[in-house]
Amino acid sequence: MCIDKGTLKSIYLAKYVPNILAILIYYFFKNSHYASLLPSSLSAILGISTFIAGFLIRQIAIIQLGKFYTYKVSIIDHHELIDTGLHASMRHPAYTGTFLELTGAAFLYNHFILSWCISLCYLIVIHKRIKQEEKTLIEEFGPKYQEYMKRAGMFLPKLK
């Protein structure tokens, strides 16, 4: 049963529109003093390493969800709550990975302010989706999911 409520479209907009804008901003303002707030090599190292870390986290999270990973908010037959692997300490590690991918890509533009604007845009949009996902999971799993929420952080492991 699909319960997405349009959040997938919002995610695509948050992932692609800022990057297209970044390319346009870079093209039109590449000679301004804003274009290099970080040294080029530092920006590249941060960008590549952050992107790779995010990609790996996202792929591992998707693999660990197995057949329960979907692009749209939905509950499938015989749905199970996955709370092992990365999901043991984070409820949404795939989103954490995507956030790191976008942050890494933004650093590759060598534009510090733009880097944070892209990442912030994604966080704002993903918040709506997570609210819908968690509402759906609470409806499906009840107290089991609420207990999971207490022990696992949303994007990062909880400090004990």
Digit-coded pLDDT (tens) for 68-101: 988 788 888 899 999 999 999 999 999 999 889 8
Looking at residue 47, what is its pLDDT? 82
CATH: 1.10.3720.10, 1.20.120.1630, 3.40.50.1820, 3.30.70.260. Which one for 7-24+38-68+81-151?
1.20.120.1630
Looking at residue 108, what is its pLDDT? 76
CA distance 84 to 156: 15
Q: Of 84, 68, 77, give the one whose Cα is nearest residue 133.
A: 68
CA dist list (Å): 148 to 4, 12, 59, 90, 136: 22, 28, 22, 10, 14
Output the pTM of the full model: 0.74
Sign of the dihedral defined by the CA atoms of residues 109, 110, 112, 113, in that order: negative
Q: Which residues lie below 8 Å from residue 45, measured CB to CB, with a gap of 6+? A: none
Q: Which ranges of the chain does DSSP label H, i.e. alpha helix?
A: 7-29, 40-65, 93-108, 112-141, 143-151
Cβ atoms 55, 101 nearer than 8 A? yes
Confidence check: pLDDT of 39 > 50: no
Looking at residue 69, what is its pLDDT? 86
CA distance 131 to 125: 11
Query: In which band, very low, low, confident or very high, does the pLDDT at 155 lie, cut at 50, 70 and 90?
Result: very high
Digit-coded pLDDT (tens) for 41-56: 777 788 889 989 999 9
Q: Which residues lie below 8 Å from residue 121, measured CB to CB, with a gap of 6+? A: 14, 17, 18
Average pLDDT score, the chain = 81
CA distance 79 to 68: 7
| Every domain of the chain and the residues it spans | 7-24+38-68+81-151
